[in-house]
Chains A and B, each alone.
Chain A
Amino acid sequence: MNTVLILIALATIGAAAAAMSRPSLLNCVLLLTLSWTGIAAFYLWAGAEFAAFAQVLIYVGAISMAVMFAVLLTRRGRRDFPPRKGSRSRAAYAVLAGAAVAGVLLAAVARSPLAASPAPGPASTVRELGGQLMGPHAAALLVVGVLLTVALIGAVVLAAGAGPEKPEATR
């Protein structure tokens, strides 16, 4: 079954790598969405049905849309400009930051035991997941809920702050 995992991993990482190298910003977004779908496929492979569907619903359905709207509303023209070459010190910082993240991830991967078969533990049902979320992890759930609500209210305040536009007839 590890071949499936390797295929999923290759597709996910390949899509992510392609997303970084494309000049067109919207192609990047679509490739990134493909990469997120790959992560959902991995969850499915690992027996975490609920997490996989939630990943598709939230990342492919919602976050990709948010990214696309952001890209389309902030772009000046139809043409995409490839990013200009930065200074050498900037490149060095980029390599440093990338290496730090890669180091953390690699350390985590090296320490975690890799099971040979998919779904090593008993696949938990949605009811158990709900019980866990509402019981031991209720505080974390509440904090996340408050955070999202605050973000939502902030967005509404930002959007409402502009005030109604003056009608053209008054000019």
Chain B
Amino acid sequence: MSTAATPNESILERAPVLARDWLTGFLPEPARWLANSLVVIVAILLVFATVFAALTLAERKILGRVQNRPGPNRVGWFGLLQPVADGVKMLIKEDIVPRAANPVLHFLAPVVLLAASIMTFAVIPYGRHLVPVELDAALLYFFAAGSATELAVFMAGWASHNKYSLLAAMRALAQLISYELPLLLSTVPVVLAAGTLSATGIVAAQSGWKWGVVPHWLVFTPCGAAGFAIFMVSALAESNRSPFDLPEAESELIAGHLTEYSGFKYALFFMAEYFGMCAASGMAVTLFLGGWHAPLPVLEAVPSYVWFSAKFLALLLGFIWIRATMPRLRIDQLTRLAWKFMVPLALVNIGTAAFWSLTFPWAGPLQLVRWAVALGMAAGPFVLLGRGLSSGLGPRTYRYA
């Protein structure tokens, strides 16, 4: 966490840092550094555990409302204590390990998955002074930490000693690997625009306003908007959320690679899924939505972490909304979408970003040309590829269904 204060900022802006210093201020210097890190880790874990609990409840409530039913409303006031009840249920459930399973790997898989998803929280700038770890290559770290999830999914499927689990794990891996590529490629325009891989630097590059009203967020540029769309769709697929929840597909695959998991280990997988969704939303806010910057100059009095949280929660609600709206894809549609649509679009988008960066000095009427060309480069391939995506493939006849 950086503590360098800028002049005329409110006490609220620095409140988390001051609270941390108040907690650890009495310690001598080397121990204080360690204590500060511990405080940050505990704070992140507490905040995201709370977000996880609230999110499960919010998701069930919103899904209920969308499907014209009340959702959980028995435990506590309006069902507010439902996450507590769920947690207790998961904790006291019997933990069943199949006799033929590999006990070490069966145990390690959820732990590795959760650890990897928690590690991704380390580099997200939550506010002006709330960056847990400042890294020069923060973006690379984020994806490197996330890549361990694939290993965990494989371990879960293989250690269960169940051929259906293994097949489902292979399917899940095919999905994760397919969407890893557009996810990574969609962040390249951001790196091109900001000129850095550091999360703090990327947020700093999006500060300021054009004409005093339009923020310099990357989502307001053609390549940034396309990148944001690709990033969000890939993030949906990477976090196994609907409409890309084929790895679990509870009604078709008996939860896929999680078939042999029960009790708290199952809850850990569930938790890792939500943490992955949170990390993806946090990174999307950082990369495309201006991080902790306020949308208008007048609103800068509100602390930066409030703005981050607002954007973050909006994206999470978007995830839930999509889950309530979209039907699940089939595995061939899923991989076709990744390799024939998302990857080419992401590659073209890098070209758009290069054009956008090279034409930065253009002014006057040339600005209009710049916008027109960039918008054409972003929208043209989308339309063309979208037309060819399922031509000649549908409608499909099901002979054995």
Binding site for B on A (CB under 8 A): 26, 30, 33, 49-50, 53-54, 56-57, 60-62, 64-65, 68-69, 72, 78, 125-127, 169
Contact = CB atoms under 8 A, between A and B. Distances in A.
List 10 A-B pairs, minimum CB-CB distance, nearest first: A61-B147, A56-B144, A53-B140, A57-B144, A53-B144, A50-B137, A53-B141, A126-B197, A126-B137, A126-B136
B135 A61 contact: no
B147 A56 contact: yes
B366 interface: no
B144 A61 contact: yes
Interface SS of B by simple majority:
helix
Instruction: Identify which of A33, A50, A53, A69 gathers the most chain B CB atoms within 10 Å of its CB.
Output: A53
Contacts of B155: 30
Contact of A26 (B137, B143, B158, B198): B158
B57 interface: no
B173 A65 contact: yes
B170 A72 contact: yes
30 contacts: A30-B155, A49-B135, A49-B141, A50-B137, A53-B137, A53-B140, A53-B141, A53-B144, A56-B144, A56-B148, A57-B143, A61-B143, A61-B150, A61-B151, A62-B147, A62-B177, A64-B151, A65-B150, A65-B151, A65-B173, A69-B170, A72-B166, A78-B163, A126-B136, A126-B137, A126-B196, A126-B197, A126-B198, A127-B196, A169-B399
Contacts of B137: 49-50, 53, 126
Interface in B153-203: 154-155, 158, 163, 166, 170, 173, 177, 180, 195-198
Contacts, number: 61
Chain A contact surface mostly: helix
Contacts of B170: 69, 72
A11 to B, nearest CB: 16
Interface in B118-150: 135-137, 140-141, 143-145, 147-148, 150
B105 interface: yes
A125 B136 contact: yes
B99 to A, nearest CB: 15
A69 B20 CA distance: 47
